Structure 1
Amino acid sequence: MAPSAMMNVSSAWIASAFMPTRDAACRWWWRPVMGKGPQPASSPERGAVTMPPETMPLPSRRRVLRLSALALAGGALALWSRRPPPVTWQGQAMGGPASLTLHGVEEGTARALVGRVVRLISTLEGLFSLHRPDSLLSRLNREGELGDPPAAFTDLLRQALALSAATAGAFDPTVQPLWQFYRDGAADFGVVRQAVGWQRVEVRRDRVRLPPGMALTLNGIAQGYITDRVTDLLLAHGIGHMLVDMGEPRGIGRRDDGQEWQLGVADPAVAARIATRFPVSGRAVATSAPRGSLIDAAGRYGHILDPATGLPADRWRQVSVAASTATLADALSTAIAASDPIRAQSLLAAGGGQAIVAGWRV
């Protein structure tokens, strides 16, 4: 979401199923959650067994949740039989925290799938990361041209440029020279602004080319794209109930208690307070906070830039957008955060988003 190498403000999201906050990279959380609603994030040990994947045994008991003769919204009845406990993995993606929650999956299957997910994340980071000087994107920015790029690379570039066109440039992956200007302050602002313009990026199946002086950032869309690719991988392996968050969360199916996945968006003024909750099953939500990360050491410039003016975005404190995919939600929240709030609904409609689920103007 950030048009820079800075980390996205993923702390704005709290999964109401359970989301441990301690450092748990490459660990598993087996959590037979017996109650409904949010589980205390400050107490990940409650009802959980934690150990590295290579030493983890099968849980001693499986969760049994039976909902018999329970009237649901449409008058339907639900009966949940014996199921494996939820599995949560936490790690890193694109320089920020990532997490994955699977329901109804046996341990051996979960181990294998998480291994595939970790390898996929590593592969995609090798394409899109600005943190890594050896990534394909870093190489493109240095050399200005790539021959025979991988399909995933051109796929995301084409989606980024299509969304640039749909939003009339409110989303623009060519703002990276502006980000470097605000970080370093060594170039002429007028010259840097001339390097911005998504229309001049050439993407072909066998070649990607940038004009002199241009550089790309995909941080306003790549986290959502990785979320979608991980989701596609798990769907292809028969997983029907999951919450995938590689920087932008996307829910599929339902939680282990039969309820929809619920996400809470934090109040930008009081991060520990959840301002609103909403269901996310069957859709993705992305959040942009222009000053959630700062470009320069002095803290003067927020990390979301307005392509139209070249200036840091200052109209929103935070905005959250729902869409059918995390890729789309990611790009649209970036575009709206960089735009006048009057344009927000038109940008949402033009880009194919579903709703602005939360927003705070400056």
Structure 2
Amino acid sequence: MTPVSDTTRGDVMPRRRVLQLLGAAAGCLLVPQSVASGADAGILRHEWTGTALGAVANITLFHPDPAEARSIIGACLTEIDRLESEFSLFRPGSALCRLNRDGELLRPSLDMRRLLTEAARFGDLSDGRFDVTVQPLWRLLATHREAGTVPRREDLRAALALIDYHRIEITSRRIRFGQPGMGVTLNGIAQGYVTDRVAELLRARGIEHVLLDLGEMRALGPKPDGRPWRIGVRDPGKSDHVLREFDVINRAVATSAGSADLNILDPRKGKGGALYSSVTVVIGSATAADALSTALCLTPQDEVEVLVAKVGPATVLLAGNDWIRLVEHGPGIH
């Protein structure tokens, strides 16, 4: 699998992905490869590589029937496209773009309600470090960075005044902002949510051996031979250096890197505030991995274990310029 490079589209906040599947070559559209021999003989590996949510994406699954594998991956791509039409900031007609434009969204989908509710939960768990209403601040800072200027204090204060996820009303009838000018970005959680939904689709189809990389990674089951999927975390500053390897079965892995000043914004301070060069989370769901890795980028080391314990069993890798720290809560993942 080829590493995912930085991707910037429209108002999407870029976050460098530093995960890679070790021991695997880059895939292409549905190239079946035989599993060696023994009990797994006849099972074929099928890979699809393309783009999803503005980033390089990959689906690797094992299935004995190429035609059925094509059908299954086609269903996955349809689901990804459907969810992009909900959460994308670079599709003008998406539900999220309409919400940001109009300040309300009538008859919102169950997916949008679920995701915003989950985002609010992580906002509460992280004491506001994770806040999806940071979009007006990002837009202001990005505009001035492109122009080579510095925002005025009054403009910065005005943008900060629009940040508060508690002021999003979420009901089955509508989603509405509590103040004109508010805006939402789901960049720190949507890729994880999409990954989980596709994983649910695959599980419902009976797929037992699959690795998804849709910006975040999630493994369903082990490889057909029973071995785990091995995920390497690359050093953001040294692409040829692997900081740590994790063996993953039925877990998700997400990394947030704060190497650029607008990658991770502190919604309370109005500026880039990442405390680490990267944060990697291994946990049961990709949604949680995505949101938690974002929130932890702004969490001081003496508070990391407290936040991780609130979310559930997880392994966290914090990386600085010349150090790493492993934090485990619950059963360890190696």
CA contact (8 A) 2:14 2:263 kept: no
* 1:143 is aligned to 2:105: no
Secondary structure, in 3 states, of the residue corresponding to 1:287?
A: strand
CA distance in 1, matches of 2:7, 2:293: 10
Q: Which residue of 2 aligns with 1:341?
A: 301
CA contact (8 A) 2:160 2:268 kept: no
CA distance in 1, matches of 2:318, 2:207: 29
Secondary structure, in 3 states, of the residue corresponding to 1:322?
A: strand
Deviation at 1:358, TM superposition (A): 4.5
Deviation at 1:8, TM superposition (A): 3.5
**1:328–1:353 CA distance, 2 compared to 1 (3 A):** farther
CA distance in 1, matches of 2:74, 2:24: 21
CA distance in 1, matches of 2:222, 2:25: 16
Q: Which residue of 2 aligns with 1:9?
A: 16
Deviation at 1:138, TM superposition (A): 0.7
Pick 1 or 2: higher relative contact order, CA cutoff 8 A, min separation 6.
1
Q: Which residue of 2 aligns with 1:30?
A: 32
Task: State which structure, 1 or 2, has the greater radius of gyration over its C-alpha atoms.
Answer: 1
The 5 A counterparts of 1:227-266 are 227-266=195-234
**1:331–1:19 CA distance, 2 compared to 1 (3 A):** farther
**1:2–1:336 CA distance, 2 compared to 1 (3 A):** farther
CA distance in 2, matches of 1:18, 1:81: 18
Q: Give deviations 1:51-75, integer Å, cap 9, x for gaps.
A: xxxxxxxxxxxx3423xxxxxxxxx
**1:105–1:341 CA distance, 2 compared to 1 (3 A):** farther
Q: Which runs of 5+ in 2 are unaligned?
A: 1-5, 145-150, 323-334
Secondary structure, in 3 states, of the residue corresponding to 1:116?
A: helix
Give the one of 73, 95, 116 matched to 1:157.
116
CA distance in 2, matches of 1:158, 1:361: 35
CA contact (8 A) 2:15 2:258 kept: no
The 5 A counterparts of 1:79-118 are 80-118=39-77
CA distance in 2, matches of 1:206, 1:280: 40
Secondary structure, in 3 states, of the residue corresponding to 1:88?
A: strand
Q: Give the CA RMSD over aligned residues.
A: 2.0
- TM-score normalized by the length of structure 1: 0.80
| Number of residue pairs matched by the alignment | 306
Q: Could you list the runs of 4 or more consecutive aligned residues of structure 1 that deviate by over 3 angstroms after TM superposition?
A: 1-4
Matched AA of 2:85: G
CA contact (8 A) 1:64 1:81 kept: yes
The 5 A counterparts of 1:304-343 are 304-343=264-303
**1:286–1:81 CA distance, 2 compared to 1 (3 A):** closer
CA distance in 2, matches of 1:120, 1:156: 15
Deviation at 1:17, TM superposition (A): 4.7
* 1:18 is aligned to 2:24: yes
- TM-score normalized by the length of structure 2: 0.86
CA distance in 2, matches of 1:290, 1:151: 31
CA distance in 2, matches of 1:306, 1:317: 15
Q: Which runs of 5+ in 1 are unaligned?
A: 33-62, 67-79, 295-300
**1:308–1:136 CA distance, 2 compared to 1 (3 A):** same
CA contact (8 A) 1:252 1:281 kept: yes
Which range is displaced more, 344-353 or 151-160?
Answer: 344-353
